[in-house]
Amino acid sequence: MKISFDLDDTLILTDKDTEYEKPVKFIRALFFKEKLRKGTKALCEELKSLGFDICVYTTSERSVGYIKRLFGVYGIRLSKVINQKIHKELVQGTRKEIMPSKVPSKFGIDLHVDDDISVKQNGIQYGFNVLIVSKDDKNWELKVLNEAKRIKKNKNYMETETIG
């Protein structure tokens, strides 16, 4: 199973009083101006133990290599990164109709986590799962974990039903 996270205002916060994650690679961290949100590492570890691959889906133009290295500073291995460029190529393509800003289901992602309510609305319209977490939510990890568990349970149930 796959879970993806938005970056800006979801895992990368820029408010003054933001609490940041502790890097596991201290020297390498010095080369990065950006830091991950506190709790990200433990959450990703729990998600992995539930069987989720961790992905990033961002509409920013940060490069795939940069994003992978940034997460590497915290010991998090990303299985997939979708940035604006990849989204444009694979989702928008040569389509005339304007596609939503993110279509996680196109990449086999079971749950996407974002701060932008319009992504949730697109999810309802296009049929993909989105959990909204706000940047000042102190219990955000728990919400993500609970939703991931729910999605996993639903998927298992659906698969059993199809086989049975």
**Residues found near Mg ion in the complex (CB under 5 A):** 6, 8-9, 115
Instruction: Output the smallest distance, CB 140 to Mg ion, in A.
Output: 13
Residue 99 CB, nearest distance to Mg ion (Å)?
A: 18
- Residue among 11 and 76 whose Cβ is closer to Mg ion: 11
Nearest to Mg ion of 21, 114 (CB atom): 114
Give burial (CB, 10 Å; 0-12/13-18/19+) of 21.
buried
CB of 7 to Mg ion, least distance (A): 7
Spatial CA neighbour of 34 closest among 13, 55, 65: 13
Residue 138 CB, shortest distance to Mg ion, in Å, is 18
Between the CA of residue 54 and those of 27, 93, 95, 99, 127, what are the distances in Å?
24, 25, 28, 24, 20
Nearer to Mg ion, 43 or 152 (CB): 43
- The answer to whether the CB of 148 falls within 8 A of the CB of 156 is no
Q: Where do the H-state alpha helices sit in 19-63? A: 26-29, 40-49
Smallest separation, CB 117 to Mg ion (Å): 10
> How far is CA 57 from each of CA 80, 138, 142, rounded to the nearest angstrom?
8, 22, 20
Both tokens assigned to 136: 């000042």
Nearer to Mg ion, 115 or 147 (CB): 115
Q: CB nearer to Mg ion: give 6 or 141.
A: 6
